[in-house]
Structure 1
Amino acid sequence: MTGAPTSPVVFADFVAGDRAVLTRVAVRLQTEGVELSLPDEQMLIWPWADVRAEPDQADTETLVISRSGDRLSRLYLRDKTLQSQLRARAPRLGKRDRVITFPKLMAWAGGAVVSVAAIIFVLVPMMAAQLAVMLPPEGEKALGDTTFEQIRMALDETGLVGTPICDAPAGTAAMQAMYDKLNPASDLPYDVQIHILDHDMVNAFALPGGRVVFFRGLIEQAENAEEIAAVLAHEIGHVVNRDPTRDALRSAGSLGVLGLLFGDFAGGTIALFLANQLINASYSQSAEAAADVYAHELLDKAGVSPAALGTMFERLLAEHGDAEGIVAHFMSHPQMGKRIAAAQDAVVEGRSYGAVLEPEAWRSLQTVCQNGAAVQPDTNLPDKKAWPDGD
C-alpha cells in the first residue's frame, strides 16, 4: 500500500516494452517512488533508487525515464514541475546500469573464442575432408589451374606476365621420363601435370586437380635425379590422397569464418593469402606421413632407392641448419629426423636400385630453365573469379 501522494496527478505517455504502443497513464510521485496508473487499473511503482533517465534524447523538452532491470519500458514526462520534483527525488537518475557484469562479459567472450576455435580446428577440417572426396575432378582442376596462375603472378616482381615456366624441350622430356618411370597412373584420381617455375626458391608442392609445381632452386640444390624423383613421388602422394584440395577447402572455410568476424577477408586478400599458403604448403603430420609412405612404395616399385627422399633433406639440414635458409615447405614439416630415418628404413635389404634417368637426361633437367622462354598464362583456363584461390 502506498503512502500519501507527494505530487498531483499528471498524465504521461508510457511504453510497456512488449510492443511499440504509447499508453496514456496517470503519474504521481509517492514516498516510495513513481506511481503509474494504467488504463486497465493496474498500478505500478518504480522505486526511487530504480529510476533512470535515458540520455541522448532528441526531444529535450521531454524527460524519458526507465526502471533499472526493465530496460524496455519507457515513461515520457513533459510536465516541467513533475520533472523538477523527480530530478530532486531520484538519487540514481543519471546513473548507468551495468547490464552485463565484467565476469559475465569475459565468460561470454571466452565461450565465443572456444566456439570459433572449435569451428576452425574441428568442424571446418571435418567438412573439408568430406567435400574433398565429393568435389568433382573438374572443380578441383579449375581450382588448381586458377591458383597456379595466381602463384605465378604473386612471385613475379613485375606483376605483369607471371613467373616464367621452364620449357626447354629436353628438360621437360626428362621430367616426363622420370614421371613415366614412377608410373603412378593407377592410383591417381586425375592426370598429373608437372611444371617447373624459373624461381630460385627451394620448394615443390601439389595443387588441387593434379598440378605438381617445382622451382628451379630445388632442382639446382639436388645432387642427382633420384632426389628429384623422390620429391616428385612425395607430391604425387599428396595428389593421390587429395591433400591439396582438402587443405584449400579448410583454409577457405577458416578464412570465411574469420571474415565474418573481422571483415577484410574477401576477394584479393583471400586469393593472395591462399596462394602464399600453397607456396609454403604444410599439411598435417598424418598427411605428410602418408605421402612419405606412398613415395617409399612408389620409388621401390620403380627400382629407385627410397632413401633418396631423405638424403636431400639430410644434406640441406646439414648445409643450412634446422630452419635457416630452407623454405617452409620442408622445415615446417614436423620431426624431420624421423622422416629421414623412415626413408632409410624403407630401403629393402639386398635389393638392387638403379638410376631414374640417364646422365644426359639429368643434365637436361638441370638446365630446363636456361632457354630463357617464359610461357604465358593459358587463355583457356577458367575465369580467375570463378573459384577462390586456396591451399
Structure 2
Amino acid sequence: MRDATDDTLYQALLARDPAYEGRALVGVTSTGIFCRLTCPARKPLARNCRWFADAAAARAAGFRPCLRCRPEDRPLPALVEGLLAQLQAQPDRRWTEADLAAMGHDPSTVRRQFRTHMGRSFLQMAREVRMRQGLERIAIGDDVIEAQLEAGFDSASGFRAAFRRLFGHAPQDLRQGGDLSAEWLDTPLGGMIAIVDDRSLHLLEFVDRKALPAGLQRLSRMVGGRIGLGRRPVTDRVEAALQDFFAGRDGRLDLPVTLHGTEFQRRVWTALRQVPPGETRSYGGLAADIGSPRAVRAVAAANAGNRLALVVPCHRVIGSDGKLTGYAGGLWRKERLIALEASYRDPGANRVDAGQLPL
C-alpha cells in the first residue's frame, strides 16, 4: 500500500485487480462496509473510499466486513477462486456442468468444494447472480425485456418463468412501488429476500427455499398485491442485523416484525423468538412453552410455516432425541447456524464466522 496512491487503488478496485489481493482493502464510508478490491459488489464513488492494509485496521476504523467478498476469510482453494473470477467476469453466462467439464474440472469436485466453502454449489451461485441482475435492472426502471437480457436469459418467457418461480409474481407486477418493498440481501449462507414496509419486516427467506414463491404469493394476497422492489430504512436495519449475526457479534436479530398467521401460529413464533441464541428446543418443549403441551404436531406445522427465517429462529428446534430435524432452508444451513450460535452461550468465547464453518 505504501507505493500505491489513492487513484491507483481506486482504479484497481474498478478493475477488480487480483494483484492487490492481500495487499489492500477498501472501506466504503457510505455503507460502513470494508471489502476486498476484487469484491463483485457495485463500486462506490472515489470520494466514499478509504484504504486499509488489513482487516484489523478497517475494523479499528469502525467498518464491518462485507458479506459478499468476506475479506476476513481464510484463502479459498484455487479452484473456487478461479471459478468465482469466471463468474464475476461472465455474470450473465448460463453455466452448466458440461461447461465445467470442458474447462477440465470434475463437476462433483466443484460442487463439493463450493458447498464446503461457499455454502452452495457453483451453479446455484450462477443462477442467483443472473436473477439478481434482472431484479436490479427492474428496480431501477428498465423494461422487462432489457432486464431479461441483462440477466442472461434466452427469452422473455424464460425470464418471466424463473422470476415467477422465485417471487410468485410476473416481473411487471413488481415494477411499480407498493406498500411493501422487496430487496435481495447477501449472506454467507446464500441470498435472502427481505420484504418490509416503513415500520417492520414482513418476510425474510433464503432465495432457494422451495416454499418461497408460495410465501410471496400469500403475502401478496394479504396486502392486495402491492409489493414493489427496492430498499427502505427497515431494509438497512435488517441487513445490518444480519451482518452482526453472521459475524458473531449479536445473535438477537432484534427487529420489528409483522407476523402473518393465525393466533396459534403467532404464539408459536413469538415463543421461538424468546429462545436465546445458543439454546435449542424440542417441538414438545416449545408446545409446553406456549401452554399447549399436547399440540406438538400443530407446533411443528407452525414452525414449518414460518416466513421470517433467522429472525423467528425455527432452526433452533431439534428432535426430542437431540438430533437435527428437517429445516426448510436445508440441514446444512441448520448445522452451520447452530454451530455459529454455540459461541453465544459463552460471552467470552471466540466468535465463529458462519461462512467459515465446515459442513
- TM class by smaller structure: under 0.3
Q: TM-score, normalised by structure 2?
A: 0.25
Q: Does 1 or 2 have the higher relative contact order (CA < 8 Å, sep 6+)?
A: 1
The structure having more radius of gyration, on CA atoms, is 1
